[in-house]
Amino acid sequence: MRFDLSFKSDDHLKRYLKHLGLSHEGPSLIYLNQIIFAHQHKVPFETFTRVADFHSFLDHLNPIPTFIERLDLGYGGTCWTLARGFHWLLKQLGFEAKYYYMDPGHVCVVVKLDGEDYYCDVGYAAPFFQAKPLKKNFLATSPLEVFKYEVKGETVVVTRTPNGPTKTLILKPQTPMEINAHFEKWNVPTSKFVTGLTIQKFFSKKLLRLSGNTLIGDGPERQLTDAEVIEVLVTRFGIYPQIFNEAKTKLASFL
């Protein structure tokens, strides 16, 4: 099952932590916040691997070992891949972590510490740099966007302004099988995750976004040449361009 995390490997755990620049510690809120902050700045939201992997892996979602091994090449993934990798990491470190789902299509992780549930989200390209109490409202801002988190009964509405979309968090943990069923809805050739190439990553809490040939977040929005795209991927995002080039070639065959 795609979201079953039975895989165990001390070597891959060490590799993951090394990429984040963190040591191995026991569960605590301070350590959890350190992991989230590092993850947001070291692991990008990107669709390159999603496009490159489509129809390559039997289940169209790369295995945990592959995800971890690609971290050093500068890659991350979409929310499905990022949340799964993050969840795997937390479980290996001894945290009590569960999947939660946002409608119409997003997965995050909720961690229980000292009897309190904390919302943790590293797959939204949102300025969420620490765990937040699951059932308390908050506002998160960045130079590009504002995220409003509002608890409304048995759901939470997360409004993203100005880029949207609005998402609704269901306040009920999801089993790996349930998350897998949600993922299936997006596992199609028309999914936005396989119809465009984008990467987003935080640098000192500032989001840098490359969507197609458009660079946003580094001064005025500007259009790059194909050569400049590769330069930015290598020098700014730390990407080894092989998988990006594979994705670009495959995307051209989809269109």
Where does 10-98+173-254 sit in CATH, by number? 3.30.2140.10
Alpha carbon distance, N-terminus to C-terminus of the chain: 30
Question: Please, what is the average pLDDT of the chain?
Answer: 91
9: closest CA among 74, 85, 80? 85
What does the pLDDT look like over 142-192, one tens digit per residue?
888 999 999 999 999 999 999 888 999 999 999 989 998 888 877 655 566
pLDDT value at residue 255: 55
- Helices in the chain by DSSP H: which ranges? 10-20, 29-42, 48-53, 64-71, 79-92, 176-184, 226-235, 242-254
pLDDT value at residue 47: 92
In the chain, count H helices and then E strands.
8, 13
Average confidence (pLDDT) over 48-77: 84
Q: Is the pLDDT of residue 23 over 70?
A: yes
Domain residue spans in the chain? 10-98+173-254
pLDDT value at residue 184: 80
Average confidence (pLDDT) over 30-41: 98
Please give the share of the chain, as a percent, with pLDDT higher than 70: 93
Is the CB of residue 186 less than 8 Å from the CB of residue 101?
A: no
